[in-house]
Amino acid sequence: MRLSRYFLPILKETPKDAEIASHQLMLRAGMIRQEAAGIYAWLPLGLRVLRKIEQIVREEQDRAGSIELLMPTLQLADLWRESGRYDAYGPEMLRIQDRHKRELLFGPTNEEMITGIFRSYVKSYKSLPLNLYHIQWKFRDEQRPRFGVMRGREFFMKDGYSFDVDEAAARRTYNRMFVAYLRTFARMGIKAIPMRAETGPIGGDHSHEFILLADTGESAVYCNSDVLNLPVPGDDIDYDSDLSGIIEQWTTVYAATEDVHDAERYDREVPAEKRVHTRGIEVGQIFYFGTKYSDSMKALVTGTDGTEQPVHGGSYGVGVSRLVGAIIEACHDENGIKWPEEVAPFRVSILNLKQGDAGTDAACEALYQELGAKGVDVLYDDTDQRAGAKFATADLIGVPWQILVGPKGLAEGKIELKRRSDGSRESISAADAVAKLSS
């Protein structure tokens, strides 16, 4: 992408109403624009990151055996009357009437709809286990939308739903999702710690929240610092094997949200020097809720003994749009964003430090073509801004690698390769830079 032809509306001033770094940086870097309280347009740079995060979530769900579908944003109120949640959900639910005076709502979550889909097709335990997910916009009319996309009203979520014949099978599915979540967040370059959590309005008796530790987080959390160094299962993970050893390793170390914090156990089990009491951002949550929806909505299957019984369910959410902000909270400095490679909007930016100089232009052009041909996502700053402004833009938008191209270096056959994460620079030939960045 040539910056001169891109749409990257950078702001010079820090917007006054943005309280935290990620919100400020997303606005300044031209990633989002607020359209109404808690409702954002995703500008091209922001959309690129959102799509990268979405794709990692999708790949790890698929790998763990969950199957993607897509449900609509609008749902019939009658479906929610069946589960009893139409009245219970309260003012966070956006209720809508169509021209026939039919009551609809903009979905805040999809347990009812997926249970409706399930019960119309699945009648026997032989079709189980079944695990379905979608990645779709949600609406919750939050009392206090704030911190940009971190607490929006309209937001993008991966929500998955599992169906199993009994509790033991449902626990195995829960464990798969637990491991899939560990892998998902690790791939994004962040540490999200699974913590015991309250089950909230979705209900049920077993739940973990995945929490990214950050001072600006909305939840207070307590954990043993050992949990920060546990290994995350690698690409060779076998989801059909017994995962209980991995789960045990992660769940025996103390880690809990404030709501379920057990002060006595914490004091007893965690040595003083390992106690971490801080704040965190909830980037995902998993639940086992048993027969809560299958009872009320009559989602029954015939079991091995031939009798009809309610199916055992779980639900699994990832805050895809919240993650864009959360990752920035974890990865930035005073100059801007420092994207982890896997979620970066571009992998490389080329900075032409003397636009209009024939030799520099030609060298940049050649680099741009070669990297593009090797499938590397490149942003080429070919604008007529001064070098200082180009440095500032590149640091602000946080692309992991910057190639600085100017006449002085070129005279010696060199360009400078700068790494955004630690600011380190090396002077190398253009060919070596291409080789390094396309490997």
Q: Which residues bind Mg ion (CB under 5 A)?
A: 285
Nearer to Mg ion, 162 or 285 (CB): 285
Tokens, residue 130: 């079944």
Per partner kind, with CB cut-offs from 5 to 8 A, the member of ligand ATP, Mg ion, none near residue 336 is none
Bridge-partner residues for 208, per DSSP? Answer: 196, 286
Q: Which does 284 bind (CB under 5 to 8 A by kind): Mg ion, ligand ATP, none?
A: ligand ATP
What's the min distance (Å) between Cβ of 148 and Mg ion?
A: 19
Nearer to ligand ATP, 207 or 349 (CB): 207
Quick one: 158 or 420, whose CB is closer to ligand ATP? Answer: 158
DSSP code string of 407-438: HHHHHTT-EEEEETTT--EEEE-HHHHHHHHT
- Nearby residues of 356 by Cβ (< 8 Å), 6 or more positions away: 384
- How far apart CA 128 and CA 5 sit, in angstroms, is 51
The minimum distance between CB 138 and Mg ion, in angstroms, equals 12
Q: Which does 217 bind (CB under 5 to 8 A by kind): Mg ion, ligand ATP, none?
A: none
**How near is the Cβ of 310 to ligand ATP at its closest, in Å?**
22
Which of residues 321 and 355 has its CB atom nearest to ligand ATP in the complex? 321
Q: Which of Mg ion, ligand ATP, none does residue 140 bind (CB under 5 to 8 Å by kind)?
A: ligand ATP
Q: Please tell me whether the peptide bond between 129 and the residue prior to it is cis, using omega within 30 degrees of 0.
A: yes
For Mg ion, the closer CB: 285 or 315: 285
Q: Go through 395-407 and write b for each residue having 16 or more CB atoms within 10 A of its CB, e for each that does not.
A: bbbbbbbbbbbbe
Residue 152: contacted member of Mg ion, ligand ATP, none (CB under 5 to 8 Å, by partner type): ligand ATP
Q: Residue 413 binds what, of Mg ion, ligand ATP, none (CB under 5 to 8 Å, by partner type)? A: none
The nearest distance, CB 285 to Mg ion, in angstroms, is: 4
CB of residue 46 to ligand ATP, shortest distance in Å: 14
In sequence order, what are the residues at sequence separation of 6 or more whose Cβ sits closer than 8 angstroms to the Cβ of residue 261? 222
What type of residue is 56? I
Distance of CA 171 to the CA centre of its chain: 24
Q: Shortest distance, CB of residue 80 to ligand ATP, whole angstroms?
A: 15
194 and 254 in contact (C-beta within 8 Å)?
no
Question: Please, which residue, 112 or 395, has the CB nearer to ligand ATP?
Answer: 112
Q: Give min distance, CB of 236 to ligand ATP, in A.
A: 28
Return the residue nearest ligand ATP (CB atom).
319
Minimum CB separation of residue 150 from ligand ATP in Å reads 6
Among ligand ATP, Mg ion, none, partner that 155 touches (CB below 5 to 8 angstroms by kind) = ligand ATP
Pick from ligand ATP, Mg ion, none: which does 299 bind, CB < 5 to 8 A by kind? none
- Calpha distance 44→67 (Å, rounded): 28
Decide whether 155 or 380 has the Cβ nearer to ligand ATP.
Answer: 155
Count CA within 13 A, CB hemisphere, residue 390: 23
Report the distance separating Cα 109 and Cα 328, nearest Å.
26
- Strand 130-139 and strand 67-68: the pairing is parallel
Question: Please, what is the minimum distance in Å from the beta carbon of residue 207 to Mg ion?
Answer: 8
Distance CA 68, CA 243 (A): 23
Q: In terms of CB distance, is 284 or 400 closer to ligand ATP?
A: 284
* Residue 270 vs 283, nearer CB to ligand ATP: 283
Partner from Mg ion, ligand ATP, none contacting 157, C-beta within 5 to 8 A by type: ligand ATP
Report the alpha-carbon angle 351-353-359, nearest 5. 105
Length of the chain: 439
Of the chain, the end-to-end C-alpha distance in Å amounts to 20
List interacting residues with ligand ATP (CB under 6 A): 109, 140, 142, 151-152, 155, 157, 200, 282-285, 317, 319, 321-322
- Confirm if 420 and 395 have CB atoms less than 8 A apart: yes
